[in-house]
Amino acid sequence: MAGSITIFLDKCNGCTLCVEACPFDAIHIANKKAVIDMAKCTFCGACVESCEFNAIELKEDACVKQDLSRYKDVWVFCEQKKGVIQSISFELLGEGRKLADKLGVKLCAVLLGSAVESRIAELSERGAEKIYFVDHPALAAFQDDPYTEVLVKLAQEYAPEIILCGATTIGRSLVSRVAVRINAGLTADCTGLDIDEKERLLLQTRPAFGGNIMATIITPNHRPQMATVRHKVMKEAATDKSRTAEVIRKSYPEEVMKSRTRLAGIVAEIEETVNLAEADIVVSGGRGLGGPENFAMIRELAKTLNAAVGASRAAVDADWIPYSHQVGQTGKTVCPKLYIACGISGQIQHLIGMQSSKVIVAINKDPDAPIFKIATYGIIGDLFQVVPALTKEFKRVLNR
């Protein structure tokens, strides 16, 4: 936590090493001595390490130093919908395995649901050594209150060191509540995780400002360290059918399962079977399509590739396709293996939502379209010719 940071003026010679080391631009030199702007300082200690003259002292408040040693193990909250474990959970088990090995602790899965006993084996095959399992009708589908209560109770009783969760609609709603309840640190939408082995800290790297900058975030004095992780960034855990896990079945009194909100219905709306966030390939259309009927061409290519259909804001705002397909700042962020942008110029708001895709293909008639600046492969041309030609060629080569 915070505390105090002091510069010993007799030792400081104004060398500026600390000014350069400060990640927050909080130090300047005045009268040949370092001065810290307390409004900017986060007590990160980077300056203390950089100073060659022992002129900076960081004192942490003793009262907030907690005993963190009782917290151990890496937990993965495994999201299920209609009894099906979501693929993000397998990605988290893959990443969680690396973290648990570095820390020398167990990788554990948390599974909440109703009549999902049969799914336990999948989680052990993916490498979970321990599975915390709560089965109750109130947990059949996600509802904020009972899911929060149960996860809070589990975390309080079994004290995990780390909890990972998908940065999904459910995940982001759930763990935001849990983190406040158990006074834990939570970092959203991570794209990189690692362990500082000396301090046993989870290093959480995430994009901010729409991916224009990256930040690495730690939770020094609170446990568990909680993070939501983006789809498709981590590699799925491999399956090994010989593995079995210890299953810890918990049941809780009815009041824990109470929900103030009531789930009245679940409606599937996306016409394609592929979920945009989970898709390996996304084919997107923009203003260049000229009208809603021309999305048929995009859908045809998407179908050929088992891809999801995306859209730019311009196409959504023109009511050519529902908002649930919108990729970009006010829509969804995707990072598929392949993103094919058809008739999308590449405004910054769109790029924010797809620029971390592994391969980007841009098809646009305007050679100056900004999308070409980030595209792996660009085709300057008429999409009404190029897209059908691509579909035809993919069908031929892939036998689809």
Partner 1 sequence: MHIIVCIKQVPNTTDVRIDPLTNTLIREGVESVINPFDAYAIEEAVRLKERLGGKVTVLTMGPPQAESALREAVSLGCDEAVLLSDRKFAGSDTWATSYTLAAAIRKIGAFDVILCGKQASDGDTAQVGPGISTHLDIPQVTYVKKIAEISADKALVERMTEEGYDTVETPLPCLLTVVKEINTPRLPSLKGMMRAKSVKITKWTADDIGAEPESLGLDGSPTRVIKIFTPEPRKGGELLKGDTADVAAELVELLKDIAA
Residue 82 has which token pair?
A: 């209609």
Task: Choose, by CB under 8 A, the member of 5, 12, 36, 43 that binds partner 1.
Answer: 43
Phi, psi angles (nearest 5°) of residue 65: -70, 110
Distance CA(321)–CA(127), nearest Å, equals: 40
In the region spanning residues 141 to 160, those forming contacts with partner 1, defined by CB under 8 A, are: 141, 144-145, 148
Task: Choose, by CB under 8 A, the member of 90, 347, 350, 364 that binds partner 1.
Answer: 347
Residue 183 has which token pair?
A: 């006074």
Task: Choose, by CB under 8 A, the member of 30, 52, 70, 213 that binds partner 1.
Answer: 213
Counting contacts by CB under 8 A, is residue 28 touching partner 1?
Answer: no
Counting contacts by CB under 8 A, is residue 15 touching partner 1?
Answer: no
Span from 8-16, 41-49, 107-115, 286-294 in contact with partner 1 (CB under 8 A): 41-49
Residue 164 has which token pair?
A: 């990972």
Q: Which of 26, 50, 45 is nearest to 36 (CA)?
A: 26
Biggest alpha carbon–alpha carbon distance for the chain: 77
> Is 50 buried (19+), middle (13-18) or exposed (0-12) by CB count in 10 A?
middle
Task: Choose, by CB under 8 A, the member of 305, 321, 335, 342 that binds partner 1.
Answer: 305
Task: Choose, by CB under 8 A, the member of 99, 276, 315, 321 that binds partner 1.
Answer: 276
Strands 246-249 and 130-135: parallel
Task: Choose, by CB under 8 A, the member of 17, 56, 314, 361 that binds partner 1.
Answer: 361
Counting contacts by CB under 8 A, is residue 177 touching partner 1?
Answer: yes
Distance CA(77)–CA(132), nearest Å, equals: 10
CB of 349 to partner 1, least distance (A): 7
Task: Choose, by CB under 8 A, the member of 186, 237, 289, 327 that binds partner 1.
Answer: 186
In the region spanning residues 105 to 134, those forming contacts with partner 1, defined by CB under 8 A, are: none
Rg (CA), the chain: 25
Site string for partner 1, 381-400 (x = CB under 8 A): x---xx--xx-xxx--xx--
